[in-house]
Amino acid sequence: MNIETTDSTDTFSDDAFQLVAQNEQFIIINKMPGISFHTENEVLGIVERVKSAMGVSELYPVHRLDKITSGLLVLARTPEANRAISTLFRERRVDKYYLAVSDRKPSKKQGMIKGDMVRSRRSMWKLSKTLENPAITQFFSTSLVSGKRLFLVKPKTGKTHQIRVALNSVGAPVLGDPLYNTDSMKVASRGYLHAYAIRFNLAGTDYCFVSEPTVGALFTSPAFKQAIKQYAEPWLLAWPKTNV
């Protein structure tokens, strides 16, 4: 089967996104941080902005990214592609990899985080010890600079705020997170969470897309460029077993 890869070298971009790849079935973009998924107060959300910028009349979001999160987003171009790709996500046949930075020391440097997510105060969630319908997150981490740690995260499920809650549960909330690490917003230029890589098979073709973050002092630093080398092909790493 054919494998398609990208490093976000396409020249099309605007202030909200960069075009990573497109074909008759889908468009892949690199969303910038701070861009809402939905239209808010007459400010267009990311899907509408892509449609407007690219002159596309129909686009179907098959998954979502939080406002603070940058990175790879898949948008289906037809109802048929929407159904097919949405099924892949629902059946957990899409591998997703995220990068995050925290200014806190985690209780463990790698492993699996598993538990039910329950609502907390405001718009927050927290992880419980019950396992009725658990969020499952695998991760590795490495030192970035003094007082900062880089995380490579692979969510096996797709819950709201899953990665942000998972890292918070091990004492390492995302740097610049306005809900789970409010103190760090005073010094962070952005929320340091990025959808880094995605892989799936659609109609017999294997697709693989990788996009490094382009915004944020820590995400563009020489230390990051060095640290990310060990995560260049995240699907090849020995991820913790999940039995899912």
What local confidence, expressed as pLDDT, does residue 43 receive?
A: 82
pLDDT, position 10: 46
Residue 66 appears among annotated catalytic residues = yes
pTM for this entry:
0.92
Answer yes or no: is pLDDT of 22 > 50: yes
Interval 23-82: pLDDT, tens: 999 999 999 999 998 887 778 899 999 999 999 999 999 999 999 999 999 999 999 999
Report whether pLDDT(3) > 60.
no
What would the CATH number be for the domain defined by 3-236? Answer: 3.30.2350.10
pLDDT digits (tens, 9 = 90+) for 201-244: 999 999 999 999 999 999 999 999 999 999 999 999 999 776 65
Locate the domains of the chain by residue range: 3-236
Which of the residues 15, 66, 95, 103 is marked catalytic?
66
SS (H, E, C) the chain: CCEECCCCCCCCECCCEEEEEECCCEEEEEECCCCCCCCECCECCHHHHHHHHHCCCCCEECCCCCCCCEEEEEEECCHHHHHHHHHHHHCCCCEEEEEEEECCCCCCCCEEEEECEEECCCCCEEECCCCCCCEEEEEEEEEEECCEEEEEEEECCCCCCHHHHHHHHCCCCECCCCCCCHHHHHCCCCCCEEEEEEEEEECCEEEEEECCCCCCCCCCCHHHHHHHHHHCCHHHCCCCCCCC
Q: Percent of the chain, pLDDT > 90?
A: 84
Q: Which residue has the higher pLDDT, 89 or 11?
A: 89
* 101-136 per-position pLDDT tens digit: 999 999 999 999 999 999 988 789 999 999 999 999
CA–CA–CA angle 116, 147, 139 (5° rounding): 35
